[in-house]
Amino acid sequence: MYQSWKINIRLILSMLILLALTSCTTTGSTPATDSRGALSAEAAFSRGDYERAAKSWQQDALEASPRQAASMRVKAADAWLLADNVENAEDVLRWVTRSELDSASRAMMDLVLADLALRYNRPGEAEQLLQKARPALPRSSKGRYANLQAEVRQQVSSPGYRDISQAAAISESMDFYDPVASVELIRSLENVSSGELAIRSENPRGERNLIGWLDLALVIRQNLVIPDEVTTSMTAWKTRHPYHQLTEQQALDTWLRYRQLFYPPSRVAVLLPGSGRLKSAGEAIRDGFMSAYLDQAGGAEVLFFATGEDEQSAISAYFNALDAGVNLIIGPLQKESVSAMLKLAGMSTPVLALNDLPDDLIMPPGLSSQVNGISLSQEEEVAAIASHAIASGYQNAIVIAPESAWGERMAIAFESNFLHEDSEIIAAARYLETENDHSSTLESVLKIDQSKARKRRLENTLQMTLEFEPARRDDVDFIFLAASASQARLIRPQLKFHDAGNIPVYATARVYSGQPDSARNQDLNGIRFPAAPWYLSHASSADIPELASIRRGTLGSLFALGQDAWNILPWLELMQKDPEFNFPGQSGNYHSAHEGTLQRVPAWAEFSRGRPVALKQGD
């Protein structure tokens, strides 16, 4: 009995002690609350809920000691940056006094300031802050430090980072719309490629106002040459950046002021054949050039100088142009003349040649970015065919070309551009342009002759006549055809006759004569080819200007080249600065490729109902 009572007394005492402890833990105290709040913020931060963590640290800082509050606000600023809210991060940091921070928190603050510097495109400042922060950084921030260091290296290695830094400085200095400063900002970004502008203007971690400027620079550049869509583009820009300091109208004003900086040289010489086999080509280019010049002269003066078939005539025309005091020379047309002129000693006048620049050209001193060449290179067109076919998923090709020097050039150009990785030329054939029936050639490359041979062997073996339909090969994806319009009108129906009508056919631009004739061109239906955009907008006889030089459309591509030779002049410098800047011309879209060569990207056309029409996207 006594023992049982003793055990109960011990049990009661234990319960009283437990109640006392429970009472102590449930009694509110500021330190306990701070601890739970800190744990809540840390937990939110760990699971990536940065906004909740930032708000929690800011709230806890209101009840904490000055030293604790300063540390919490630094953490809140870091969380706001990770939530891509630069404005809130900067607001929080305004309440932080550096002297109130311990060494680890000061290092953390330098880390946050480095992040801000990168968002304002100041990698040099960010690098200094990171070096300062590194010794005292807590282990938990090492990963954040490494990420920021990588971003510093990326920004420093970017070709346009100094220009973007300059643009950022101009942006920060503008409290309101300043037309002069706005144009200066856009000009400071000219060496930043369109691709880099596009990437940086979509950076969610970037400083909001600068991001808006970068996007505006890209929109302006995309609407410089053809301004038809600029109003719509500016409306879309303002929708993307509703808080930018520029209004939609001010952005349009900036575009207009900037565009007015681009104009042609004041005195231009044009060197074109006045005699010889290229005289007709020169006349078509001349008329195209003058049509563009009269449409938009820009206050410039144009002088024409005739060349002949020999290189010396081009050199003489060049010196005559210099005596006339020209600022730029367009031409000559013949490739040998271009080479001879550009190799003259002491050359100092900018040139836009109307042919490919020589492969061995050494740019004259001081003219490294002022000698350019545009052309209707057929080899480049064939390279475009190979690229388009590969992009369409075609791997196995048949090559059909005439037995001629031109045919060999086209076949070699196609092979050198198509044979990559899994691409293969499974058969090739040459045809005689003097013949009309190419059945034997086509049967050979389509392996129909082998199918017929198998039939004959089987009939000989069985000693009986068999009902047999010869079958073509089924391992071909498309056919590359080098042919004139007249030869293509013969070959295309014969391909259909041999059960190859459903195989896609790519042809060179020669497949279209330039003269709209839907009745004669019915046999070309389905053939795809690279074309001057001019042909697609002049697909009927009524659309073609009544000029003898165009020859009812036959020389339309040269007429278009002449138009582009004038219209491209204001943009040459910007094209050299930004290789991705595109000039949409009548003979093709041009961009700077290498060493002054302006690469032409043709339009894609397909014959439909005997007329060339734009090839649908994805075909």
Burial class of residue 171 in the structure, from the number of CB atoms within 10 Å of its CB (0-12 exposed, 13-18 middle, 19+ buried) = buried
Give the DSSP H or E segment for 259: helix 248-259
pTM across the whole model: 0.77
Tens of pLDDT, residue by residue over 119-135, are 877 777 888 899 888 88
Reported as a pLDDT band with limits 50, 70 and 90, residue 6 is: very low
Phi–psi pair at 306, nearest 5 degrees? -85, 145
Reported as a pLDDT band with limits 50, 70 and 90, residue 315 is: very high
Task: Give which of 375, 336, 329 is closest to 352, Cα–Cα.
Answer: 329
Give the DSSP H or E segment for 124: helix 123-133
Note whether 363 and 596 are within 8 A (CB): yes
217: which residues sit within 8 A by CB, 6+ positions away? 167, 185, 186, 189, 192, 197
Q: How far apart are CA 577 and CA 564, in angstroms?
A: 19
Q: How far apart are CA 372 and CA 384, in angstroms?
A: 21
- What per-residue confidence (pLDDT) applies to 15? 44
- What per-residue confidence (pLDDT) applies to 164? 85
What tokens appear for 104 in the block? 């680890």
Segment among 350-359, 432-441, 448-457, 562-571 with least mean pLDDT: 448-457
Q: How far apart are CA 292 and CA 204, in angstroms?
A: 43
- Whether 320 has a pLDDT exceeding 70, the answer reads yes
Class (C level, CATH) for 379-614: alpha beta
- What per-residue confidence (pLDDT) applies to 564? 98
Reported as a pLDDT band with limits 50, 70 and 90, residue 461 is: low
What tokens appear for 356 in the block? 């490919």
- Whether 453 has a pLDDT exceeding 50, the answer reads yes
CA distances from 391 to 357, 384, 395, 410 (A): 28, 10, 10, 20
Greater model confidence, 41 or 506: 506
Note whether 77 and 89 are within 8 A (CB): yes
Q: Distance between alpha carbon 260 and the CA centroid of its chain, in Å?
A: 24
Note whether 112 and 78 are within 8 A (CB): yes
- Whether 419 has a pLDDT exceeding 80, the answer reads yes
Give bridge partners of residue 505 from the DSSP assignment. Answer: 479
Segment among 12-26, 32-46, 340-354 with least mean pLDDT: 12-26
- Is residue 574 classed as helix, strand or coil in its secondary structure? helix
Reported as a pLDDT band with limits 50, 70 and 90, residue 340 is: very high
- What per-residue confidence (pLDDT) applies to 346? 84
What value does the mean pLDDT take over residues 391-401?
94
Report DSSP letters for 206-230, one per residue: S-HHHHHHHHHHHHHHHTSS--TTH
Q: How far apart are CA 279 and CA 577, in angstroms?
A: 35
Spell 210-243 as b/e; 16+ CB within 10 A means b.
bbbbbbbbbbbbbbbbeeeebeebbeebbeebee
- What per-residue confidence (pLDDT) applies to 581? 95
Q: Terminus-to-terminus CA distance in the chain, angstroms?
A: 101
Tens of pLDDT, residue by residue over 166-184, are 898 999 999 899 999 999 9
- What per-residue confidence (pLDDT) applies to 154? 78
Note whether 557 and 534 are within 8 A (CB): yes
| Percentage of the residues of the chain whose pLDDT score is greater than 90 | 60
Class (C level, CATH) for 267-375: alpha beta
Note whether 326 and 269 are within 8 A (CB): yes
CA dihedral 7, 8, 13, 17 (to 10 degrees): 100
- Whether 364 has a pLDDT exceeding 50, the answer reads yes
- For strands 528-531 and 583-584, give the pairing: unpaired
Tens of pLDDT, residue by residue over 204-221, are 667 788 999 999 999 999
- Whether 13 has a pLDDT exceeding 70, the answer reads no
- Is residue 604 classed as helix, strand or coil in its secondary structure? strand
Give the DSSP H or E segment for 399: strand 396-402
Q: How far apart are CA 305 and CA 337, in angstroms?
A: 14
Supply the DSSP symbol for 589. Answer: E
Q: Please check whether the domain covering 33-157 is classified as CATH 1.10.10.10.
A: no
What tokens appear for 596 in the block? 């002054």
Q: What residue type is 21 in one-letter code? A: L
